[in-house]
Structures are given as C-alpha cells and as structure tokens.
Amino acid sequence: MARRLKSLDELRRLPAVSAAPAPGARKAAVAVAPVRVLGIDPGSRYTGWGLLECRGQRSQFLAAGRIVSTQGAMPERLLTVFEGLCAVIAEHRPDEIALEETFVNRSNAQSALVLGQARGVAMLAAARTGLPFAEYAAAQVKLAIAGHGRADKQQIAQMVKLLLKLQAAHSEDATDALAVALCHAHVRGTISQGHPALKGSW
C-alpha cells in the first residue's frame, strides 16, 4: 500500500543519505542518494505531470507532460487519467510522488467535485505503486517556489523555468506539476539538512 506522508516528521524519516565514512578520513564522506520525485497536477480535462531528480537541495529536470482527457463521459475521462498516470509511473519509475490538493471554490461546488474525482484517481494511481506520496496546498507550492503564497501562475511559471534552467516551454499543467515536485523537493532537502524552519510555515 502507498505510504501517505502525513507530517514533516514522517518525511524526515525517509532515507536520503547513503555512504559510510572512508577509513582514515578527517571528515565523514557523505553522498546524497538521488531521489526521483513525480509531481502531479490533477484535472478532469488535463492532468500535468513533472519528474525531477533530487540530490539534497539540488533538483534536476528529467521530463514533463500532460494527459489529455477531454473526450467521452466522465467515467471514460477518469479512466484516461488513471491509465495515463500508471503509464507515466511505469515508464519513469519515481521514488516519491507529490500531488496538489484540491482548492475548494465555494462559488462553484460542481467544479470542485469534478476536480476532486480527478484527484482521487491520481491518488489511486499513486497508491497502487506502494510509493510514498505527499500532498501540498496551492499556497504551500507558491510559497516554496516564489516566496509568497499569493503568486500568480505567470510568476510560478517563470520561477520554475529559472530554478530548473528549462530551455523548452511546457504546458501550464506540466509547469504546475513541476512546481509541485519542486515544492516536495524543497521540503525534503530542507529537512535532510536538519533545518526545522519549515515547521512553522507549512
């Protein structure tokens, strides 16, 4: 079964460092094992995904794309999302998965309900792998990427491009998914360095 990361303390316990000090070395040699993080931005019509390789506080872009599910009734569209994410996971073999939480729009409950269905399918695709996964609110992602929780999509896209040194343009959905992956990598890297500052901010 998938292991949902319910707290930063649980994330802290995930393995991130592997190496033993060399005999006779003055300082312990520490090698940070690479971790592949798959970020997912679920949607009923377009589901973005982005894959990063993380080493400590460094993140490298590997791949990104989106799953198009605009045809058919809702059951068929949800199946498209599920099968698409399963294919992405099977192809790229991430170590951890991060999803963006659903923003509840009280003025449009129907849209929130549909988005929640797509998010549930994304969670199912993650759960069947047995991989650990985490969830982040939109404001958390914006805070991690742009430094404040009210950044707009253009600001987030610019920061993602800058932080990952992207050359090619990606869809808005894929960019949002990369932002989710970067958020998870940021939390993971900060904790691995022993900094507890995020506890009061997230």
The CATH number of the domain where 186 resides is what? 3.30.420.10
- Total domains present in the chain: 1
Domain assignment of residue 88, yes or no: yes
Enumerate the β-bridge partners of residue 99: 40, 135
Domain assignment of residue 150, yes or no: yes
pLDDT at res. 201: 35
pLDDT at res. 3: 56
pLDDT at res. 6: 47
Domain assignment of residue 65, yes or no: yes
pLDDT at res. 157: 94
Domain assignment of residue 11, yes or no: no
**What is the band of 64 on the pLDDT scale with cuts at 50, 70, 90?**
very high
**Residue, of 10 and 6, whose pLDDT is higher:** 10
Domain assignment of residue 159, yes or no: yes
Q: Is 9 annotated as a binding residue?
A: no
Residue 198 pLDDT > 70: no
**What is the band of 196 on the pLDDT scale with cuts at 50, 70, 90?**
very low
Residues 79-108, buried b or exposed e (16+ Cβ, 10 A)?
A: ebbbebbeebbeeeebbbbbbbbbeeeeee
Q: Is 176 annotated as a binding residue?
A: no
Q: Which segment of 97-101, 104-108, 158-162 scores lowest on mean pLDDT? A: 104-108
pLDDT at res. 169: 85
Using CB atoms within 10 Å of the CB of residue 144, give its burial: 0 to 12 exposed, 13 to 18 middle, 19+ buried: buried
**Residue, of 189 and 60, whose pLDDT is higher:** 60
Residue 5 pLDDT > 70: no
Domain assignment of residue 112, yes or no: yes
Domain assignment of residue 28, yes or no: no
Q: Is 173 annotated as a binding residue?
A: yes
Enumerate the active-site residues: 41, 100, 173
Give pLDDT tens digits for 132-187: 889 999 999 999 999 888 899 999 999 999 999 999 889 999 999 999 999 999 88
Q: What is the mean pLDDT of residues 69-83?
A: 96
Domain assignment of residue 15, yes or no: no
pLDDT at res. 9: 52
Domain that holds residue 110: 33-200
Residue 11 pLDDT > 70: no
**Residue, of 39 and 26, whose pLDDT is higher:** 39
